[in-house]
């Protein structure tokens, strides 16, 4: 239906992004799905009925500003509105400041930090024009405490700071901001599947919880760990 809400999700081809796409589609959202992996992205869109009038799947490198502008422009051309923007794209690195390459570090920082900021910048004018909208940003439990030798952790501290800075900027409006902070999740983030981890669907349900609150409630942070994760 033309009045159904529209949700934009970056990093939508796997893991938390794909699980969130499935649950929000079931909840009645029309979807704008973005990922660098076009093949995997098409697979998620096919699972949701092949796109049609309810799903726009578009390859996008979130670290490239022009890609994000094109994503938002195409979303507004297709659906006429965006109600939710989920800045979820990101990836990690081995712990240790002598691990990985400087090129890997740069790509991670550009994706995890600058990519989230670009999503905010690309969508915020539309939200301000409507005086409504909901930003969700994927941070991590690693954004709440330092991890030894983890530059990834530093990027997630940045996302937590970004989310709070954005919340303060839009506090006089009806725009909401929610930080999603998962503990260990069994997603393609890990080379070897961890035991006792959360599933991507568990995090997707926290997104649904944040989105389902009444207009006067803004859930600012959701920190969720598997039951046996000590830190």
- Interior/surface letters 56-74, b for 16+ CB within 10 angstroms, e for the rest: bbbbbbbbeeebbebbbee
Does the annotation count 152 as an active-site position? yes
Q: Are 160 and 144 in contact (CB under 8 A)?
A: yes
Tell me which long-range contacts 226-229 makes (C-beta under 8 A, separation of at least 24): 226/183, 226/184, 226/196, 226/197, 226/198, 227/196, 228/196, 229/141, 229/183, 229/184, 229/196
Q: Are 187 and 199 in contact (CB under 8 A)?
A: no
198, 161, 205: which is closest to 182 by C-alpha? 198
Please state, as a whole number, how many other Cβ atoms lie within 10 Å of the Cβ of residue 41. Answer: 24
Using CA of residue 91, residue 95, residue 96, residue 99, what is the dihedral sign? negative
Distances from the Cα of 45 to the Cα of 21, 191, 203, angstroms: 9, 25, 20
192, 177, 167, 189: which is closest to 222 by C-alpha? 177
CA distance 87 to 200: 16
Q: From the candidates 86, 118, 152, 189, which is the catalytic residue? A: 152
Catalytic positions are 152
């Amino acid at each position: 239906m033309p009045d159904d809400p529209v949700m934009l999700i970056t990093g939508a081809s796997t893991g938390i992004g794909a699980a969130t796409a499935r649950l929000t589609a079931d909840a009645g959202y029309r979807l704008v799905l973005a990922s660098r992996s076009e093949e995997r992205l098409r697979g998620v869109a096919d699972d949701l009925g092949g796109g049609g009038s309810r799903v726009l799947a578009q390859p996008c490198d979130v670290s490239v500003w022009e890609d994000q502008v094109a994503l938002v422009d195409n979303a507004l051309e297709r659906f006429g509105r965006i109600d939710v923007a989920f800045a979820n794209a990101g990836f990690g690195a081995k712990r240790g400041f002598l691990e990985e390459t400087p090129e890997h570090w740069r790509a991670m920082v550009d994706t995890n930090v600058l990519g989230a900021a670009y999503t905010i910048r690309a969508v915020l004018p539309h939200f301000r024009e409507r005086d409504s909208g909901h930003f969700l940003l994927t941070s991590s439990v690693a954004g709440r405490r330092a991890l030894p030798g983890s530059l990834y952790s530093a990027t997630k501290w940045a996302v937590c700071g970004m989310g709070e800075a954005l919340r303060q900027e839009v506090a006089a409006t009806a725009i909401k901001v929610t930080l999603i902070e998962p503990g260990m999740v069994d997603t393609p983030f890990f080379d070897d599947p961890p035991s006792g981890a959360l599933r991507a669907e568990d995090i997707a349900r926290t997104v649904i919880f944040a989105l389902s609150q009444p207009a006067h409630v803004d859930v600012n942070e959701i920190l969720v760990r598997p039951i046996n994760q000590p830190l």
